Amino acid sequence: AQSVTQPDIHITVSEGASLELRCNYSYGATPYLFWYVQSPGQGLQLLLKYFSGDTLVQGIKGFEAEFKRSQSSFNLRKPSVHWSDAAEYFCAVGGRSARQLTFGSGTQLTVLP
Amino acid sequence: KAGVTQTPRYLIKTRGQQVTLSCSPISGHRSVSWYQQTPGQGLQFLFEYFSETQRNKGNFPGRFSGRQFSNSRSEMNVSTLELGDSALYLCASSFSGQGAGWYQETQYFGPGTRLLVL
């Protein structure tokens, strides 16, 4: 079985500060990894994904994530946060299928002016 | 290209009733998956359809069912509604064509249908 842990329920950062959201996964083989963002009342928007190859993945809105097999992690980073980044962020793993995702519990990001 | 559309966006039902939600995938996408999102359980996979066949099913009771039509549009049905079925129901589509690489399997989500059961 696959699982995802997002250890931080809520993170607060100041606008312009750097951001790192943590994600740890459990799966026997190399998984398919995703980060999605959800604004209030909205669906999920894909930020980036990792299938194979380069372990540093670039996404939209200036986000990047690094796959570390030894740590079973796929942390999301952004060098400078904007107020519009305030939202809930979900890490997801697709093991047997990239169409059957297991999501973490989400991290709520608050951005202070 | 238009994104994934879901109708209705909001729905209020009472316990014991049944409900049908609709999802139209991105044009050309053939796979549709459904997820339930609740504050307590988070995002949970319900089922996935491809070419009118259910390919995968999550751990939900038989009251939850779905189908897919020849145009790839999908519906999900919940019978005998319970209070705990109140949730945001999200639909996601992916290309999933024959010979598609994993890169094309990425799911794109719709805005969801918010169901309130009273």
* Tens-place pLDDT, residues A29-72: 778 899 999 998 788 999 999 987 888 999 999 999 999 999 99
In a mutagenesis test of the A interface, which of B109, B113, B115 is the best target, namely the one with the most A β-carbons within 10 Å? B109
Q: Which of B6, B46, B105 to mutate to test the interface with A (most CBs of A within 10 A)?
A: B105
Q: Which residues contact B61 (CB under 8 A, 6 or more apart)?
A: none
Strands A107-112 and B5-7: unpaired
Contact call for B94 and A34, based on CB within 8 A:
no
CB A18 within 8 A of CB A33: no
Q: Is B94 on the interface with A (CB under 8 A)?
A: yes
Average pLDDT over every residue of B68-92: 96
CB A23 within 8 A of CB A105: no
Nearest-neighbour CA in chain A from B12: distance (Å) = 16
Name the pLDDT band for B33 (thresholds 50, 70, 90).
very high
Q: What pLDDT score does B56 carry? A: 85
pLDDT the model gives residue A110: 97
Question: Using 50, 70 and 90 to split pLDDT, how confident is the model at A99?
Answer: confident
In this prediction, residue B3 carries a pLDDT of: 92
